[in-house]
Structure 1
């Protein structure tokens, strides 16, 4: 909660200082004004921050080069072809990403893009149409140099612009309230924002979230205890305007000022900024001493953009067991209500290990808790994956195997075939195990072991039948599906000891040294998978295995104010994200260690180069799409509703125990059930 407290302290004086700040801005370079206000400890009006960012000059040649390079990089994005014709199960519009990027180039040539912020915003909007958290382009001007906030902090540390979406009795449709008003006797729901119907306004706002499901996008806007966040409505990615006015059902209105906040880690950089040109030199131009296309700005994960999460958020019950590292959000609980003495809860907010040894502890903790829960007569298990953005794929598979040790995970994967991928795969495919272990290959780029263990190398996967690929040509295909080209179906060989390299577990449970496993601890009907739609990447794979193979029922929370089904997995269902640094290293090694001069000259037309601008974090692509057995449709485009949906009630928003108790009564009828089905 350290960052949350720091943000509250910065914003606490916002209301009293904004008028003076706005007045002093007259006649001053807006970027200098931002710097001066920040260094004096004063609040920065959002309009002043926006004036600064839109004063940053734009170089059209650099912009075109950036887009062209990103197009080459996007050739590695596995759903680039699928999303042009995603099928009936996908609720969003089909899009032509490369065509939209060409349109950005056309806008540049026509002089329609006037500043760097506008350029980076256009790039973010194009990438955002994929609704895939594994596909990103995050420029420093648009994304990381300033944070936006709707409203300041109250004396009690609450965020005045934070909203909640809540059903007052759990049966009626949810309404939107200010979080600070919810517990007041005269609380009145918001009916409009800036004159627009509140549902219409917030639905449009939610389209900036990188979730494929509209209900998940809706949930992310609001304060929820499980995410330990005031909601993304108060901290949007884009400029939210100078203020907003909400009208309540009782006719009262509330106007809240918006602010820009300089991230504390950027204090030294902002001290160098006096105008738009110096901003460009500081934040946009690549470092003069490095060829890297990213700056030394600390990378910020999407899930931790606004506040720091804790292992056990406020009002969580005392855990029976929890991970030692507070950043690894894994804890286990026993429900205390006398009618629910049979129920245990495993709260998994992440599969992402942080420090060395975290993966091993994660694996051991789940094993320990399952055994302990069974020994204490806890015959029912709720697995809560709310706000789980993913992490180590092996930990997701391992957790599934701990609950269903006799089942073989059957998710397949494909890469998108491209000439660039083929160039690298052909080169890396010549590296043998002997090269990797003996170091006999004379290399100038990646080590032979790095190339041999790359996800591009054909030996790191087996085919759909569990058989080894004989060569890169055997694995690459290409196979034509839906008008695009892909590799053959690939799966992991969990018995391969070379699969577990780096800081990870020794093996997935049920394989290799962990082949001997206890019997299945719980029947499928005794497990409930709980989510809020914010489940992505590894969480999506884990949820798919638990539901589809394990036969576990699922419950999802919240969603838009409408009756009907909701998906439990609203985030990306891709099974491997690859950052630019990894692909850049593979390209550099290919050019350094393989091919003739003539071949390298030809390859240059297909392989992306270092980006000509600095970015908040390196661009990423979804490198492998997940597939069900026998299906040619990526999991990303399948609509898979949860078995049951519950609306948030006021009690659920402030005490997660009420959620778990409601789910237990609904699922197993304890204490007479909930009256819902």
Structure 2
């Protein structure tokens, strides 16, 4: 099976005899959408290093990246942290010291990007102008398929995988002359997930939603072509291509490329205000995620009969959430709630999302369904208000926890000191209202401690009680905080026009022991938040599909487990705004040297000021974990691992049934994947909805020895005390409750 190269080699030959950027301009001018990947890469490699500009850029990154909530834990990671430690400031210094040794500007920016990639957290991104110019793609996808869902899987070309259950096709033996899985593991390291299972699953094509994997939709350039050798001895060669949405008019070589794309035209444009503008940054960044939607009639596949295909109960127009009833012997009582993301397109308030789940659960109760699959595959996150609302609809008598903290570093605390002074002074507050156009509480929400509550659900006495600092793992943090869950508080969590449902008196539609989460390890951000509430509060188990071809456990969540995210370009706005405002209204002007540096950042805005470059400013913490270890650094195995088969990979009906079968009968799980001590089936004790007392709070001066691989709270995860607080959000009363970080997980 020899597949010819789809692009003429003449273009490559021409590029070797001319300036590659000029060749790119010529190809794009000739209406070519795709150009040879190698020509695009050669163009990038011809851009000269901006040594002086990069010295400034790196110094500015060292200031901005101090807001990263994980700086201390990244330096001193737990022993079971697969990626190992990374000192982001030291890594930046190494690049700065060696700027003259890089062959191109592209190599410098890739080296900086590699630092954030090493963290495994897709809330922490660096994608400057030069990396945005081209998108690379290979014209073939790959999938990982097991014979029966338990045997170790083999690799197949995507198009072949659709025919596995009706004919004989050959698996992939080698990719570019390397053993196939080893090759994939190598390029998977470009992905930002906490372990190799998630990074591999991100590479694979998705048969049911048709989402491209990052093997096909490449993160970086990976050669001029892709050569695949099959087990039957045949080979195929596929051209790797590139595309660009930018105009190359006037671009003739590397220096003119720099002038066109690296001087502010691409990355310095953003519409942030001092309010932070995090609403559009929900979940996994779209340039990494290729956000998909649930296809219409998702449950109806061509080889299903009317008696075996699921029944559609409700489907949101956004394609983010839908509900089904399974059919067939043994599945008559099983319902499926599929949540593909928590950032529904065209449903900015989330009201349709909320109404879809409400309608689905009402139909489940009416039909007397008792068992539920919550399908979270591909869910990269979104709005935490929707996560919390979904949890409360599922468990109306329980209060989710959702606790966070900031890194209490110099810049952040200096801003908070000023905000606290203004808030507590009627004179300064009045002066602010007269002179500043945007509302104080909204603009400075992250420091507005009066809208937050403590881990125990009590009001913070003052700014000092909120800011701490408290020391964990050799770094300083604010106190653990939760959020005001009342519909009358529009600052903490709720977006415009969205209100939590009044859950008082609503029935619990399913028992926790009859619910299973079905993930593909790509769950992260807001999805990780839902997983945490379902697991540690409600006690729901999980089944996870895919990953490495190993007879070992797999984590249900390998995406980011952090909370709030900012585009880095907004941080200088905070700095300059607070310095200006305090001066204008007669408040104490912050004297922090680092805050002054932040306010005067310029090169970072020019090169990476848009939403492609982000930073996580909050950790998420587990209820009852006295070590205070961020969820990001806690290993959590699923209760069971399965692999896709030739049918379950593309047919959601069969995938749901396979997940349910494994949930109720662990002999259908992959050998060696069950019973890990961090899973509920292996002994993890959920804290439950009960109240926290002082003995269960995070204790400062803890190191990374905390929960370790078990993920169990060091206090012994006490049993829930009583029924826990009962939510009553509809009437607008202040509830000792929770929210998550405003608009971003």
**TM-score interval, normalised by the smaller of the two chains:** 0.7 to 0.9
Q: CA deviation digits over 1:59-115, x for unaligned, max 9?
A: 11111111111111111100111111121342221111111111111111xx11232
Residue in 1 aligned with 2:251? 273
Structure 1 residues 324 and 314: CA distance shift in structure 2, 3 A: closer
Paired residues of 2:388 and 2:400 also in contact (CA < 8 A): yes
Paired residues of 1:66 and 1:613 also in contact (CA < 8 A): no
Cα distance in 2, alignment partners of residues 382 and 45 from structure 1:
44
Structure 1 residues 466 and 305: CA distance shift in structure 2, 3 A: closer
Residue in 2 aligned with 1:367? 358
Cα distance in 1, alignment partners of residues 468 and 136 from structure 2:
46
Correspondence list, 1:211-360, <5 A = 211-263=193-245, 266=246, 269-287=247-265, 302-303=285-286, 309-312=292-295, 316-317=299-300, 319-326=312-319, 329-355=320-346, 358-360=349-351
Which of 610, 616, 622 is residue 616 of structure 2 equivalent to?
622
Structure 1 residues 449 and 458: CA distance shift in structure 2, 3 A: closer
Cα distance in 2, alignment partners of residues 440 and 497 from structure 1:
21
Q: CA deviation digits over 1:379-420, x for unaligned, max 9?
A: 211110111111111111111111112222223211111111
Cα distance in 1, alignment partners of residues 670 and 568 from structure 2:
51
Paired residues of 2:544 and 2:641 also in contact (CA < 8 A): yes
Residue in 1 aligned with 2:731? none
State the shift of 1:308 in Å: 6.0
Residue in 2 aligned with 1:380? 371
Correspondence list, 1:576-591, <5 A = 576-591=564-579
Residue in 2 aligned with 1:462? 453
State the shift of 1:120 in Å: 1.2
1:180 pairs with 2:159: yes
Query: Over aligned residues, Cα RMSD in angstroms?
Result: 3.0
Judge which range, 610-619 or 45-54, deviates more. Answer: 610-619
Correspondence list, 1:430-469, <5 A = 430-432=421-423, 441-444=433-436, 447-452=439-444, 454-469=445-460
Structure 1 residues 339 and 46: CA distance shift in structure 2, 3 A: same
Name structure 2 gaps, 5 residues minimum.
Answer: 273-279, 301-310, 675-745
Which of 544, 557, 579 is residue 545 of structure 2 equivalent to?
557
Aligned residues: 638
Paired residues of 1:66 and 1:612 also in contact (CA < 8 A): no
Q: CA deviation digits over 1:123-167, x for unaligned, max 9?
A: 11011111001111101212x21111123xxxxxxxxx2101111
Correspondence list, 1:661-676, <5 A = 661-668=657-664
Structure 1 residues 15 and 253: CA distance shift in structure 2, 3 A: closer
Paired residues of 1:528 and 1:553 also in contact (CA < 8 A): yes
Structure 1 residues 599 and 170: CA distance shift in structure 2, 3 A: closer
Structure 1 residues 633 and 502: CA distance shift in structure 2, 3 A: closer
State the shift of 1:33 in Å: 1.2
Correspondence list, 1:371-520, <5 A = 371-432=362-423, 441-444=433-436, 447-452=439-444, 454-495=445-486, 497-499=489-491, 503-504=495-496, 506-509=498-501, 514=502, 516-520=504-508
State the shift of 1:502 in Å: 6.9
Judge which range, 474-483 or 352-361, deviates more. Answer: 352-361
Residue in 1 aligned with 2:305? none
Paired residues of 1:25 and 1:33 also in contact (CA < 8 A): yes
Correspondence list, 1:614-653, <5 A = 614-615=607-608, 617-628=611-622, 629=624, 630-653=626-649
Residue in 2 aligned with 1:21? 11
Cα distance in 2, alignment partners of residues 598 and 532 from structure 1:
47
Cα distance in 1, alignment partners of residues 54 and 297 from structure 2:
45
Provide the secondary structure at the position in 2 that maps to 1:613. Answer: helix
Cα distance in 2, alignment partners of residues 234 and 240 from structure 1:
11
Q: CA deviation digits over 1:440-488, x for unaligned, max 9?
A: 5344585424334x12222232111212123222211111111111111
Provide the secondary structure at the position in 2 that maps to 1:258. Answer: strand
Cα distance in 2, alignment partners of residues 444 and 577 from structure 1:
25
Provide the secondary structure at the position in 1 that maps to 2:523. Answer: coil
Provide the secondary structure at the position in 2 that maps to 1:24. Answer: helix
Which of 106, 129, 139 is residue 128 of structure 2 equivalent to?
139
Structure 1 residues 276 and 500: CA distance shift in structure 2, 3 A: same
State the shift of 1:22 in Å: 2.3
Paired residues of 1:316 and 1:656 also in contact (CA < 8 A): yes
Paired residues of 2:576 and 2:600 also in contact (CA < 8 A): no
State the shift of 1:334 in Å: 1.5
Name structure 1 gaps, 5 residues minimum.
Answer: 1-12, 152-160
Structure 1 residues 656 and 288: CA distance shift in structure 2, 3 A: closer
Correspondence list, 1:86-105, <5 A = 86-105=77-96
Cα distance in 2, alignment partners of residues 526 and 68 from structure 1:
53
Structure 1 residues 103 and 210: CA distance shift in structure 2, 3 A: same
Cα distance in 2, alignment partners of residues 332 and 556 from structure 1:
20
Paired residues of 1:444 and 1:592 also in contact (CA < 8 A): no
Paired residues of 1:227 and 1:386 also in contact (CA < 8 A): no
Correspondence list, 1:599-614, <5 A = 599=591, 603-605=595-597, 609-610=601-602, 611=604, 613-614=606-607
Structure 1 residues 537 and 305: CA distance shift in structure 2, 3 A: closer
State the shift of 1:656 in Å: 1.2
1:120 pairs with 2:109: yes
Which of 42, 46, 55 is residue 51 of structure 1 equivalent to?
42
Cα distance in 2, alignment partners of residues 644 and 561 from structure 1:
14
What TM-score do you get using the length of structure 1 for normalisation?
0.87
Paired residues of 1:532 and 1:558 also in contact (CA < 8 A): yes
Q: CA deviation digits over 1:290-330, x for unaligned, max 9?
A: 78699xxx99973465856233268533632111234xx11
Paired residues of 1:170 and 1:649 also in contact (CA < 8 A): yes
Cα distance in 2, alignment partners of residues 315 and 293 from structure 1:
37
Structure 1 residues 500 and 343: CA distance shift in structure 2, 3 A: same
What TM-score do you get using the length of structure 2 for normalisation?
0.80
Q: CA deviation digits over 1:624-659, x for unaligned, max 9?
A: 101113331110000001111110111011211110
